[in-house]
């Protein structure tokens, strides 16, 4: 004999209960999937930003500065492993960007958010290495123009700064230029794949002469 307390509706109710449990689990799994997807989208977004024109972080800074009271245009030249110069007429090659180009008194003032301006402490040119490019890097300074300056010798200070994992000065030195068009190779260094910095001998021929021959310089 069957169970006197059993009724077909009881089986139907148990089936509905199981279906509700399965539905609840499915909804929970769907919510979890959507949360994971949202995290992935946020994580990937910065990569797209690079494609849309936002520059990635910097690894090294190569900076030159010279007296603000001299109406002189000195140019910083940097040649990386691609062996193509980065300067005022070629502002981006590989990892290197010329982020700041000084023209002398014409660029001596910095404009603030409120529209006012202040005089800079010095004329500054900055080339940023935005990734680690293994190989040789050469740095030079060129005296492009005296403008209204009388033409006496001028001294520039050059520094190479590492930014990761901490900010540290890797090399610093001064160079004095005496005549219009003169170029002095200031420093050469090698980077390995891990960003290890090693100073090496500078080329004998000025960088501007080397690349004028190849058509890369004006």
- In this prediction, residue 215 has a pLDDT band, given cuts at 50, 70 and 90, of low
Tens-digit pLDDT profile for residues 129-145: 999 999 999 999 999 99
**50 and 65 assigned to the same domain:** no
Structure tokens at 19: 């279906």
Could you tell me which residue, 119 or 176, shows the higher pLDDT? 176
Tens-digit pLDDT profile for residues 177-197: 999 999 999 999 999 999 999
**95 and 25 assigned to the same domain:** no
Structure tokens at 127: 């080339």
**117 and 47 assigned to the same domain:** no
Predicted pLDDT of residue 34: 46
**40 and 65 assigned to the same domain:** no
**75 and 175 assigned to the same domain:** yes
**91 and 197 assigned to the same domain:** yes
CATH number at residue 90: 2.60.60
Full residue range of the structural domain in which residue 24 is found: 1-54
What CA–CA distance (Å, rounded) separates 81 from 78?
10
Q: What is the pTM of this model?
A: 0.72
**8 and 100 assigned to the same domain:** no
**For the chain, the helix, strand and coil percentages under 3-state DSSP, each to the nearest 5:** 25, 40, 35
- In this prediction, residue 11 has a pLDDT band, given cuts at 50, 70 and 90, of very low
**95 and 200 assigned to the same domain:** yes
**Secondary structure letter of residue 81 according to DSSP:** T
**39 and 64 assigned to the same domain:** no
- In this prediction, residue 31 has a pLDDT band, given cuts at 50, 70 and 90, of low
Task: Give the number of domains in the chain.
Answer: 2
Predicted pLDDT of residue 108: 75
What CA–CA distance (Å, rounded) separates 162 from 169?
6
Q: What is the DSSP string of 4-62?
A: TT--HHHHHHHHHHHHHHHHHHHHHHHHHHHHHHHHHHHHHHHHHHHHTTPPPPPSEEE
Residue 218, pLDDT above cutoff 80: no
Tens-digit pLDDT profile for residues 79-121: 999 999 999 999 999 999 999 998 877 777 777 888 888 878 8
Predicted pLDDT of residue 55: 62
Query: Is residue 218 helix, strand or coil?
Result: coil
**97 and 33 assigned to the same domain:** no
Predicted pLDDT of residue 113: 87
């Amino acid at each position: 004999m069957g169970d006197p307390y059993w009724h077909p509706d009881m089986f139907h109710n148990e089936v509905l209960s199981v279906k509700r449990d399965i539905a609840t689990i499915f909804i929970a799994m769907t919510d979890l999937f959507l949360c994971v997807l949202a995290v992935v989208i946020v994580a990937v977004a910065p990569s797209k930003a690079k494609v849309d024109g936002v520059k990635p972080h910097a690894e090294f800074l190569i900076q030159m500065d010279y007296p603000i009271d001299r109406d002189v245009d000195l140019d910083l030249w940097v040649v990386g492993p691609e062996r193509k110069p980065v300067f005022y007429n070629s502002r981006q090659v590989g990892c290197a960007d010329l982020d700041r180009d000084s023209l002398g008194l014409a660029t001596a003032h910095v404009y603030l958010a409120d529209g006012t301006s202040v005089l800079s402490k010095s004329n500054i040119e900055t080339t940023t290495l935005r990734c680690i490019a293994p190989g040789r890097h050469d740095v030079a300074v060129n005296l492009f123009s005296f403008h209204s300056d009388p033409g006496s010798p001028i001294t520039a200070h050059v520094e190479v700064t590492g930014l990761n994992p901490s900010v540290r000065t890797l090399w610093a030195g001064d160079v004095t230029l005496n005549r219009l068009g003169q170029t002095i190779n200031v420093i050469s260094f090698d980077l390995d794949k891990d960003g290890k910095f090693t100073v090496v001998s500078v080329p004998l021929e000025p960088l501007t002469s080397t690349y004028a021959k190849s058509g890369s310089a004006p």
